Structure formats: structure tokens, C-alpha cells
Chain A
Amino acid sequence: MGKEAKTKRKFCGNCGNHNAYNYPDEVFCTMRLCSSENPIVPTLWCCEKWNPTSQDCYCVEEALKKKNN
């Protein structure tokens, strides 16, 4: 786990299992799909399987911006 990853906030949009879905509000979780759970989750949600992504993306930043507006 890199230094940057350690500082990531625990959101689905910062998790290694996310893909874009309804950008920026919702993401698609492949782990949940494989567990036969609803794979579409809020970008700012998170579960106990959260693991930080190495991908720097704008999902959380834009979802937070939208939420705060």
C-alpha cells in the first residue's frame, strides 16, 4: 500500500474495485457483482471490503463537489 493510498478516504470511489457508472454519483463494483449483490453503489459509500485504489480519478472529488453544492 503506497503512501498516497494510505491517505485515501474510505469511499467506494476510492476503492480498487470501482468503475464509473452514473458519474459521479454512483460507481460499479465488480466485487459485489461476483458476490451476487447489487453492483451499483454510491460513490461516497463504502463497505468492509474497501481497499484503496492505485487509480487517481476524479470520482470522489466530483461527487463531493456535487453533494456540497
Chain B
Amino acid sequence: MQRKDLLLEPVKPIRINGKLTVNQLVQQFKNSGSFGAGRLSAACDIYERMVKDEGCTIFLALAGAVVPAGMRSLVADLIRERLVDVVVSTGANMVHDAIEALGGHHYKGHWSVDDSMLYKYHVYRIYDVFVPEEDFARLDYKLVEIYDNIAAENKGKSLSSNEFAWELGKRLNDPSSILRAAYEEEVPIFLPAVRDSEFGFIHWLHASRKNCQHALTVDAFKDVPKIVNICKRSARNGMAVIGGGVPRNTVQSAALASKRGMDYAVIITMDRPEIGGLSGSTLEETVSWGKVKEKANKIMVIGDAMIIFPIVVASVIERIGEDFRRAPHLKRRNFQATGGI
């Protein structure tokens, strides 16, 4: 490389002239190309490429408390508009999705509050979001019944976390629900750490009742061949990761086990790489494992996913236009609706 190759593109100042659409603002970020602005504009470009690539299966990995914070409908809409093909989530995010599907709410609170007072009022805090305990109690009560029903219908058969999530979605009558949207659109939704959420405690309640005839069985190991096959049978794979944790690892491990490696990757995180945890690990580090290809279109955006991800989605929706339609994942992959994955 020569010196002149280092100085090809000058930074252009960000110009805000009157009204700007989201994508116009992102284009200004691209003109700057620097720091978070540059990374955010690159994330928009990569997600646009994923969406326009008919051979690409898009995995959305969801960690962190983004559903209680208000990202629920956005994810459900992405599923319905086919802008993601597979969802991998923490159990907790889907617990909060189910809470709202059953009429509960998350409330705007504050990060600086007397938590001892909240405790006495049976109100839980997720940073600056408040959740009343009764919404969890209602969830427990209703889901114990739903677990009974799922177990009775499946007659002792153990379910993968994907089948469990679809069974829940089938019984939640709320079009804004992520679980409902995934069930209706036949979008695979995996909950690899399903036990580590209220779903696990509800199972304890369900199974320990005197009149429980069939205890629901969920076998998370059954997910492994399913998600690996999805990767293996896709011409290309891409991932949009919110946070990190188990969902990011599940998607990346599928790319590794299928020997495919991700062709596209957008990661939004606040985590750091120095302590060796997966959530903060750089995309370069993932290349060493074969989880992401060396030449993949990839970017990590360091920032709050509640700000970054809606901007990415809004920008890309603006770019692709209203008439853009992406075929359902299962149809594109020529899989059978349920048995093929």
C-alpha cells in the first residue's frame, strides 16, 4: 500500500439542511464516515445488502431487555415483512412479549428511584422501565394453563424450543406479539436458554401441581440440528445481533457447525472484548473460529440498540421502498413448513 492509498476519501461534514428523513440523516453519517456515525451507516448498508440478497437467510439474535423497552412491535413487523428469517432470543424477551400479549404493560419509570419503595409496592425495575408484579402473576396463571394444554396435545412428546415458542404463539391472540407473528409466518424462533427466564419457573408451577397429568417437556438439544440445517441449506447467511449472550452464540455456533460462516454480520453492543466474553468479542475474533467469513460484510456498532437498531431498520425500509417484497424464508429455501428444518 502506498501513502496516496491512505488518503483517498475526505471526511465530508454532516449537513442538516431543513427536514431530513431517517435515511437522509444516515447518508449524512456516511459522508462523515467517522466514529459511530460511520459504523451506523455501514450497518445500514450491510443490512440492506442482506435484505436484497435472495439467497441469504437473516438471523436476528435478541438479547438484553429490548422488548420491555419497546422493541416488540418492531421485531414482530420485521417477521411479518420477511425482513428477518430466523429469530433467536433470550427466554426473557419472549416472557415480556407474552406479558404484553396477555394485556400487561411496561411503564416509563426512572433509573434514579428508591428501589426499596418499589419492592414494597411489588414493582420491578429494568433500568428505567417499571413492570408491576401482577403482570408476572397473570402470566404465570395463564401460562400454567397453556403449558397444560400444550402438554396434553403433544401427549408426552418433547418439544424443541422452536416448537415450544410456536405453540405459545398459537395461543397468544395478539398480532403485535413476536411469538404470534413467528407462529403465523412460520418463522423459526429459537429460545436456547428457555429455562433461564420466567418460562422456567412457570414450568415448575405447572409440573408441581397436584392435578398435573402430563408435564410439558422441552428439549433444547433438539434445536441444534434444526438451526445448523438452516445455515447449511442456505446459499448465504447473515446475522443482525442485538446485544450478545446466548442468542449471538447460538447463531454463530450454527454457522460454525455447518461450516458455512456468516456472509453478513451487524452487531450492536456496548460490551467490551478485553475480558474474553462472547458478547464483546470483535468480529475479527469470530473469523478465527470460522463463525464469520474473513471477507464477510461485517460491522460492530458500539451503542444502545434501542437507538441504533430502529434507525437501521427505518433507513433500510426507506431504501428498499414500499413495493419491495421478500419471499418467505421457508419458500425460498424450499423447506417443508415444519418438518424441513
Task: List residues of A whose CB falls within 8 A of some B CB.
Answer: 19-23, 28, 30, 33-36, 39-40, 55-59
Chain A: minimal CB distance from B339 (Å): 36
- With A34-B209, A56-B120 already in contact, the answer to whether A21 and B134 are too (CB < 8 A) is yes
Docked Cα-Cα span, A30 to B202, in Å, equals 11
**Which of A22, A36, A58 is in CB contact (< 8 Å) with B209?**
A36
Chain A: minimal CB distance from B144 (Å): 7
Docked Cα-Cα span, A19 to B144, in Å, equals 16
| Contacting pair B209 A33 (CB below 8 A) | yes
Docked Cα-Cα span, A39 to B136, in Å, equals 14
| Contacting pair A34 B208 (CB below 8 A) | yes
**Which of B119, B122, B134, B211 is in CB contact (< 8 Å) with A36?**
B211
Docked Cα-Cα span, A7 to B120, in Å, equals 18
Chain B: minimal CB distance from A19 (Å): 5
B residues 181-209 near A (Cβ < 8 Å) are 205, 208-209
Most buried by B among A22, A23, A34: A34
B47-59 vs A, CB cutoff 8 Å, 1 = contact: the mask equals: 0000000000000
| B122: chain A residues within 8 A (beta carbon) | 19-20, 23, 57, 59
29 contacting pairs across A/B (C-beta < 8 A): A19-B122, A19-B133, A19-B136, A20-B122, A20-B133, A20-B134, A21-B137, A21-B138, A23-B122, A23-B132, A23-B134, A28-B141, A30-B140, A33-B141, A33-B205, A33-B209, A34-B208, A34-B209, A34-B210, A35-B209, A36-B209, A36-B210, A39-B141, A56-B120, A57-B120, A57-B122, A58-B120, A58-B121, A59-B122
Chain A residue at minimum C-beta to C-beta distance from B135: A20
B residues 285-305 near A (Cβ < 8 Å) are none
Chain B: minimal CB distance from A62 (Å): 9
| Contacting pair A57 B205 (CB below 8 A) | no
| A36: chain B residues within 8 A (beta carbon) | 209-211
Q: Which 5 A-B pairs give the minimum distances between C-beta atoms?
A: A20-B122, A28-B137, A20-B133, A20-B134, A19-B137
Task: List residues of B whose CB falls within 8 A of some A CB.
Answer: 119-122, 132-134, 136-138, 140-141, 144, 205, 208-211
| A22: chain B residues within 8 A (beta carbon) | 134
Docked Cα-Cα span, A52 to B144, in Å, equals 26
Chain A residue at minimum C-beta to C-beta distance from B201: A30
Docked Cα-Cα span, A14 to B280, in Å, equals 44
| Contacting pair B205 A28 (CB below 8 A) | no
**Which of B121, B133, B144 is in CB contact (< 8 Å) with A33?**
B144
Most buried by A among B120, B122, B144: B122
| Contacting pair A20 B132 (CB below 8 A) | yes
| B144: chain A residues within 8 A (beta carbon) | 33
A34-B210, A36-B210, A36-B211 known, 8 other contacts, Cβ within 8 Å = A19-B133, A19-B137, A20-B132, A28-B137, A35-B209, A57-B120, A58-B120, A58-B121
| Contacting pair A55 B209 (CB below 8 A) | no
| B134: chain A residues within 8 A (beta carbon) | 19-23, 28
Docked Cα-Cα span, A59 to B133, in Å, equals 12
**Which of B120, B121, B132, B205 is in CB contact (< 8 Å) with A30?**
B205
| Contacting pair A57 B141 (CB below 8 A) | no
Docked Cα-Cα span, A33 to B137, in Å, equals 11
| B210: chain A residues within 8 A (beta carbon) | 34-36
Chain B: minimal CB distance from A39 (Å): 6
| Contacting pair A55 B137 (CB below 8 A) | no
| B209: chain A residues within 8 A (beta carbon) | 33-36
